[in-house]
């Protein structure tokens, strides 16, 4: 049976914690963040988007204050909050610039009203969900229970299957569904749920036996398979990296990790060889009549191989598959060290190519500072992992910390031409309600983990 730790928080303590939070507000780093958010009005005014940013500034201040209050009451890591707020502020500024550019292009203020309303809704929903998730995690072991883990795993699989059935797909990727008029990117929810499910699997015992590894491998394989079927190879790569990191940190026998790496390498080579053979058969005409499974495999192989081909030589198809990378390079060159007012027609600039868009508008120096902030955020999240003694909390901190960092690393490297481009978002900066929601929740959970959690992690069955 689980060992439960009784814990009550009196109203006297809550009042004392709130008073302490407001006192530390004047002496802590949040004041500097708020001053930065207010001072950003000058920069946004120079970019012509001052009025749009001014509409969102009160909401940014609300998020900052609410986050500070929760962090102070939970005795959480304040640097995690501060770095996340800096990234969110930069993301807000950039999205406001995009909205203003659309207003200029269309000659009407309608995009501004629609864009502001959309961002306000995304921020409010994300803040409410993050606070709820953080408070629940801090006050109860509900997330670490077996029934909850099973429910989360079933929800992740169910959403993926639902997307496969009802999503029309865009560019061969099925990762969006509409529920009651609200669009939801199911792969964002799946990657959020992956970490606590793995934390339950790996967090019960210090030593992992074969049965534990079987569940860990099985759930990971199913998650990756569903992502592959959906055509979401960017998120697949992200989860694969997180899986390998969790394996390295929480499975003591390194021979298992070596076996996994060798199996992945051999499997990738075999799949690539099969793809080349089938492609050659198609070109020769000997594979003209193929089944649906073979056609799906060829489509997936073509999609992945093309990413490598046009990453190395985007000039081969400048108007097609190489277009995004060529435009991204053009944006980076135009931006220079300090940005430019002349902007190129960059595709998907608010999501996949948001980092080149940031370089173009704010300069390479500013973009490098943002990359440094991502690194500092990762270091603080790893400090949380190192300092926690309970295994479950360690897995949550390490899992979400590596997920955010790898996601930023993949999309920054891909959009700047350092590796093949994948269609994932830059945390806190790219547009997208589902992505923002998940980033808020992950941050709240890491802050909760870093605090004085009253319940033990990794409790025995």
Q: Is residue 307, in this structure, part of any structural domain at all?
A: no
Per residue in 427-461, pLDDT (tens digit) is 999 988 889 999 999 999 999 999 988 887 655 44
Domain that holds residue 71: 1-139+313-461
Indicate whether 216 and 333 sit together in one domain. no
Indicate whether 321 and 451 sit together in one domain. yes
The C-alpha atoms of residue 301 and residue 278 are separated, in whole angstroms, by: 10
Indicate whether 358 and 445 sit together in one domain. yes
Residue 287 pLDDT: 56
Indicate whether 418 and 363 sit together in one domain. yes
Q: Is residue 28, in this structure, part of any structural domain at all?
A: yes
Residues 6+ apart with CB under 8 A from 315: 322, 326
User: Residue 248 forms beta bridges with which residues?
Assistant: none
Q: Is residue 265, in this structure, part of any structural domain at all?
A: no
Indicate whether 197 and 336 sit together in one domain. no
Indicate whether 151 and 134 sit together in one domain. no
Residue 376 pLDDT: 96
Question: pTM score, two decimals?
Answer: 0.90
Q: Is residue 278, in this structure, part of any structural domain at all?
A: no
Number of C-alpha atoms within 13 angstroms, CB side, residue 222? 16
**pLDDT surpassing 80 at residue 125:** yes
Where is average pLDDT lowest: 64-68, 178-182, 227-231, 346-350? 178-182
Indicate whether 322 and 452 sit together in one domain. yes
Q: How many domains does the chain have?
A: 2
The C-alpha atoms of residue 87 and residue 374 are separated, in whole angstroms, by: 8
**pLDDT surpassing 70 at residue 158:** yes
Query: Which domain-ending residue is among 251, 278, 305?
Result: 251
Q: Is residue 110, in this structure, part of any structural domain at all?
A: yes
Q: Is residue 32, in this structure, part of any structural domain at all?
A: yes
Indicate whether 318 and 459 sit together in one domain. yes
> Do the bridges between strand 182-185 and strand 176-179 make them parallel or antiparallel, or are there none, so unpaired?
antiparallel
Q: Is residue 411, in this structure, part of any structural domain at all?
A: yes
Query: Which domain-ending residue is among 202, 226, 251?
Result: 251
Indicate whether 55 and 104 sit together in one domain. yes
């Amino acid at each position: 049976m689980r060992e439960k730790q009784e814990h009550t928080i009196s109203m006297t303590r809550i009042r004392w914690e709130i008073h302490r939070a407001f006192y530390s507000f004047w002496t802590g780093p949040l004041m500097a963040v708020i001053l930065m958010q207010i001072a950003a009005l000058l920069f946004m005014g120079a970019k012509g988007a001052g009025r749009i940013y001014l509409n969102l500034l009160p909401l940014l201040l609300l998020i900052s204050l609410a986050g500070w209050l929760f962090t102070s009451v939970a005795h959480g890591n304040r640097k995690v909050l501060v770095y996340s707020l800096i990234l969110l502020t930069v993301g807000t500024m950039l999205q406001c610039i995009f909205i203003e550019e659309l207003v200029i292009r269309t000659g009407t203020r309608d995009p501004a009203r629609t864009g502001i309303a959309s961002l306000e809704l995304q921020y409010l929903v994300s803040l409410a969900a993050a606070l709820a998730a953080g408070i629940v995690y801090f006050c109860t072991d509900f997330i670490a229970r077996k029934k909850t883990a099973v429910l989360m795993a079933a929800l992740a699989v169910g959403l993926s299957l639902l997307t496969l059935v009802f999503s029309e797909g865009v560019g061969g990727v099925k990762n969006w569904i509409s529920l009651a008029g609200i669009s939801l990117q199911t792969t964002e929810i799946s990657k959020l749920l992956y970490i606590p499910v793995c934390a339950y699997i790996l967090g019960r015992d210090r030593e992992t036996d074969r049965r534990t590894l079987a569940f860990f491998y099985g759930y990971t394989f199913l998650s990756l398979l569903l992502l592959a079927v959906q055509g979401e190879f960017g998120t697949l790569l992200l989860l694969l990296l997180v899986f390998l990191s969790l394996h390295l940190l929480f499975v003591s026998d390194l021979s298992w990790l070596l076996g996994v790496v060798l199996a992945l390498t051999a499997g990738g080579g075999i799949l690539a060889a099969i793809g080349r053979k089938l492609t050659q058969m198609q070109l020769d005409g000997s594979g003209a009549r193929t089944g649906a499974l073979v056609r799906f495999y060829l489509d997936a192989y073509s999609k992945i191989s093309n990413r490598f081909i046009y990453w190395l030589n985007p000039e081969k198809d400048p108007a097609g598959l190489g277009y995004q990378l060529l435009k991204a390079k053009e944006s980076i060159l135009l931006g220079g060290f300090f940005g430019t007012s002349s902007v190129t027609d960059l595709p998907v600039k608010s999501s996949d190519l948001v980092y080149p868009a940031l370089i173009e508008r704010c300069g390479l120096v500013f973009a490098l500072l943002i990359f440094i902030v991502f690194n500092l955020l990762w270091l603080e999240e790893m400090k949380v992992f190192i300092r926690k003694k309970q295994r479950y909390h360690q897995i949550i901190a390490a899992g979400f910390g590596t997920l955010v960092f790898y996601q930023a690393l993949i999309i920054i490297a891909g959009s700047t031409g350092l590796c093949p481009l994948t269609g994932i978002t830059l945390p806190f900066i790219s547009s997208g309600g589902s992505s923002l929601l998940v980033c808020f929740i992950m941050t709240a959970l890491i802050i909760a983990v870093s605090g004085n959690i009253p319940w033990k992690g990794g409790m025995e069955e």
